[in-house]
Structure 1
Amino acid sequence: MRLQTMQYALILACGCMVVADALAADAAGVVKTLKGTVQVERAGTSSGAAIGSEVYGSDRIVTGPQSSVGITLRDNTQLSAGANTILDLNKFAFNTTTHDGVLDATVKRGSLAVISGKLAKANPDAVRFSTPTTTLGVRGTAFIIEVGGNGEGAR
C-alpha cells in the first residue's frame, strides 16, 4: 500500500511541474527596466509593474508621465516604451525550437523602440506592429514607433 501512495505522490508532483511549466510558457516576456509609474492591465484588472514582472500576450502596458519600461520577450525582442505610452500586446507565441510564432502589438499612444528578436529574424511576416493609423511589418532589426497626440486611449 505504501508503494501505491508513493506512486500517486510522484504522479501528482510530475503533473504539477507540467502545469507550472505550461503556465510559465504562457508568459510573453519580462519587465527588465522600469522608471516611474507603469501599469499592466490584464483581464480587467490593473497592477503596478516591477522589474521581473511577467507580461502576457493579452496585456496592456501603460506608462505614466516621465515614465518608461523595458520588456524583453521570450524570443529576445526588446521593447522600450516611453512616457505616456499605451501598448497592447495583442498576441504573442514563440516556439523556442523552431522559432515559429507570432507577435502582434498595437501602440495606441506614445513611443515604442523595438529591437527585433528571433521571431522576426526567422519569420518577418509573423511580426506586426500597429498604430491607430498604420500597420507596420518588420523588415529591419531596430525601429521606433511614435504616435502623437492622444492616439486612441480606449481599448
Structure 2
Amino acid sequence: MKRLIRIVLFVFCVIVISSCKANTNFYSGITYEDIAGPSAPDNAEFVREFKGHGDSWAAVNIVYKKKNDNEFIGKWYVKYIGKEASPTGEISYNYSAGDDKGSGAMTFIQPPDAGIYYMGQLPSRISLPNDDSVIDLQLVWDNAKKSELLKLM
C-alpha cells in the first residue's frame, strides 16, 4: 500500500512540475539566434539583446554595432503571448532607456506569423546601454484601449 501511495504521489508531482514549465519560452522566434542573418543590418555586428515580457507581450531589442564606427542600431521585435487573438490595427510604443527616449507605431492589417511583430529600427545611438541597463517599453494596441509596460533587461 505504501508503495502504491508513493507511486501516485510521484506521478502527481511529475504532472504538476511539467505543467508549470509550459509556455515558459516567451521569446521563441524573436531572439537573435532566431532572426540572425537576413534581418541583420548591413555593415553591423551583433552586440547584445534586451528581453522582457508581461501578460500579453514579450519583447526583444537586438542591438548591433556598426562596423568601424561607434554607433549602435536597435531593432524591436514583439510577440503577442496573450490569450486573445493576435491584435491587428495600430500598435504603438514608447521607450525609455536612461536619456534615450522615443516612440513609434506600426499598423498591421492581419496578424503576423506566430504573433511576431517587427516594430522597426531605433535611430543610431552614440553609446551602448550598460549590461545592467533597463529599457522601459510601453505597448499600446486595440485602438488605445489596451496597454502594457515591459521592462527589458
TM-score (norm 1): 0.44
- Larger radius of gyration between Structure 1 and Structure 2: 2
Asked which structure has the greater RCO (Cα within 8 Å, sep 6+), the reply is 2
